[in-house]
Chains A and B, each alone.
Chain A
Amino acid sequence: MSRQRSARSAALGLTVRRVPTTIPSRGAGQLRRRLVVGLLVLTSLVLISVSFRSGEDGPLSGVESAGATALRPFAVGLDRVAQPFRDAYGWADSLLTARSEAERLREENRDLLQRAIQSEFALQENKYLRSQLDYIDSPRFPADFNPVVAEVTGRPAGAFTQAIVVAAGSSDGVRLNDPAVTADGLVGVVTRVTPDLARVQLLTDEAAAASAVDLRTGATGIVRHARGTRETLVLDRVRKQDVVRVKDEVVTAGWRAGALSSLFPKGIPIGRVTSVGQTDTDLFQQVQVDPYVDFGALDAVILLVPSDRR
């Protein structure tokens, strides 16, 4: 019996033939699909391996740098087009918090006015005292740094890294581990550099940390990201006997020990203490810090380039 005939159609004396369709062979389609996706996955894995293992000096860094430079005009163009929409979004967002923000700013304004008067006295006193002291190992800020103002051009997608890409690179004198600040305070540190761009790891990243000091009491610790939150910091490693109070200002410590020194110059504002706690079992105090910098609304940052480098 012909393969195209069933038992019933044979009994009826009929021939049943399937109408040919335009579907390609199922096996060939599956094979092609598997080949393509396998190739792409393999390429991605190779890229990850090479990029991850070789770091800054690897064969891919040049390609990545050239690619980033080529994509930069698109990013800048899109950024300009999007700026009015972003402003509108920021304005709408700010309306939600305007009332509480205004009250807080009034209080802060009174506080700052008081401090400005005190600072004026302190400045006169400081001039005299500085001339008397011989700070051999003291960090020198800001005299030793040149500012490089850079526009923020991008942010990585997802919640895995807290970083920004800025439009300044090694051609501007920027190098790895250069600090990034704004007028509000410390932003982070440069972790990758190309001739035209740099990646800045924000202080809110899980891997970021900065040695810090309580400006009022001198209690020292390490500011790092508070786990499980997006924009809250903690002042870690503060000894139990040290005094830290709510509303104390936290700034970078800027230590130096022989040839080693902190990445950050001394005295860059970081944030204000919002809560202090300690338990009998903990070795250190639990100090929460509200950063001065709004990490979600960074449009530009200042990269601090040591003046003796240029």
Chain B
Amino acid sequence: MSGTTWLRGLAVAFVAAMLQVVIVSSMVVGGGAPDLLLVTVVALGLLRGSIPGAVLGFVGGIVVDISTLGTLGVTSLVLTLAGFWAGRYGETTGRGRRLAPILAVGTITLLAGLFGYILYYLLAEEVVARHALLTALAPAFVLNLILALPVHRLVRAIVGEEQRAEPSGEVEVLLQR
């Protein structure tokens, strides 16, 4: 990944994090709010690979943690793993699949919700499982799925897609004299 692409990826992660904190978190629909940053990190991972996905997820998470004066590292840990997983999925079975963004966003939203709940539980924060995993997660899941394809297209237009080298099945036949 070139320096320019890294800069564009960082800008996308930063803007998504700020939008999440300032606007999107307060757009509650049906008891839950969409997670624009998570959807963006998944798109970055799918398009640019596991390492950029993890790094940009970490950066976006740190921006959120700092902006909201929360416990540093919590959001970045969740988003690092989300970006890495999305990247690995894009590098392997998800490659070339049209519905890969929707599948990845849906799966990662559920896993991130569960992982976040466990993390907050370990930090002794009071979080009600029913609210975190059902009341708020169900609408967030639907909203994230709605955002998945538009955000994926937008991110692809900004940072492009990693050109991955395909393992060649071609062989060269040489006649022995």
Binding site for B on A (CB under 8 A): 13-19, 21-23, 32-33, 36-37, 40-41, 43-52, 60, 64, 67-68, 71, 74-75, 78-79, 82, 85-86, 89, 153-161, 163, 165, 192, 194, 197-199, 205-207, 227-230, 296-297
Contact (Cβ within 8 A) A230 B76:
no
Q: List 10 A-B contacts (CB under 8 A).
A: A17-B172, A18-B171, A33-B84, A44-B76, A64-B66, A68-B66, A68-B67, A75-B22, A157-B21, A159-B135
B67 partner, pick from A40, A50, A75, A158, beta carbons under 8 A = A75
Given contacts A21-B168, A37-B80, A154-B22, contact A199 B51 (CB under 8 A): no
Contact (Cβ within 8 A) A17 B171:
yes
Contact (Cβ within 8 A) B172 A161:
no
Q: Could you tell me the dominant secondary structure of chain B's interface residues?
A: helix
Assign chain B's interface to a size class. Answer: 35 or more
For window 54-75 of B, CB contacts with A under 8 Å fall at 54-55, 58, 61, 63-75
Contact (Cβ within 8 A) A21 B167:
yes
B71 partner, pick from A36, A51, A227, beta carbons under 8 A = A51
Contact (Cβ within 8 A) A52 B26:
no
Given contacts A14-B176, A157-B20, A207-B126, contact A46 B73 (CB under 8 A): yes
Contact (Cβ within 8 A) B72 A48:
yes
Q: Mark B112-131, 1 if CB is under 8 A from A, else 0.
A: 01001100100101111011
* Cα–Cα distance between A165 and B67 once the two chains are bound (Å): 8
A40 partner, pick from B22, B54, B65, B167, beta carbons under 8 A = B54
B143 at the A interface (CB under 8 A): no
> In whole Å, how far is B174's beta carbon from the nearest beta carbon of chain A?
4
Contact (Cβ within 8 A) A43 B73:
yes
Contacts of A198 in B (CB 8 A): 69
Stretch at the interface among B2-10, B29-37, B99-107, B152-160: B29-37
Contact (Cβ within 8 A) A155 B25:
yes
Specify the chain A residue showing the minimal Cβ separation from B19.
A78
* Cα–Cα distance between A111 and B158 once the two chains are bound (Å): 56
* Cα–Cα distance between A123 and B13 once the two chains are bound (Å): 56
Contact (Cβ within 8 A) B68 A154:
yes
Specify the chain B residue showing the minimal Cβ separation from A197.
B69
Contact (Cβ within 8 A) A45 B51:
no
Contacts of A156 in B (CB 8 A): 21, 25, 64, 68, 70
* Cα–Cα distance between A22 and B37 once the two chains are bound (Å): 34
Contacts of A296 in B (CB 8 A): 26, 28
> In whole Å, how far is B147's beta carbon from the nearest beta carbon of chain A?
14
Specify the chain B residue showing the minimal Cβ separation from A50.
B72
* Cα–Cα distance between A142 and B21 once the two chains are bound (Å): 33
Contact (Cβ within 8 A) A86 B72:
no
B18 at the A interface (CB under 8 A): yes
* Cα–Cα distance between A227 and B27 once the two chains are bound (Å): 21
Contact (Cβ within 8 A) A44 B167:
no
Specify the chain A residue showing the minimal Cβ separation from B38.
A157
Given contacts A13-B176, A15-B176, A230-B131, contact A75 B21 (CB under 8 A): yes
Given contacts A21-B165, A33-B50, A79-B22, contact A206 B127 (CB under 8 A): yes
B120 partner, pick from A21, A75, A160, A297, beta carbons under 8 A = A160
Specify the chain A residue showing the minimal Cβ separation from B63.
A71
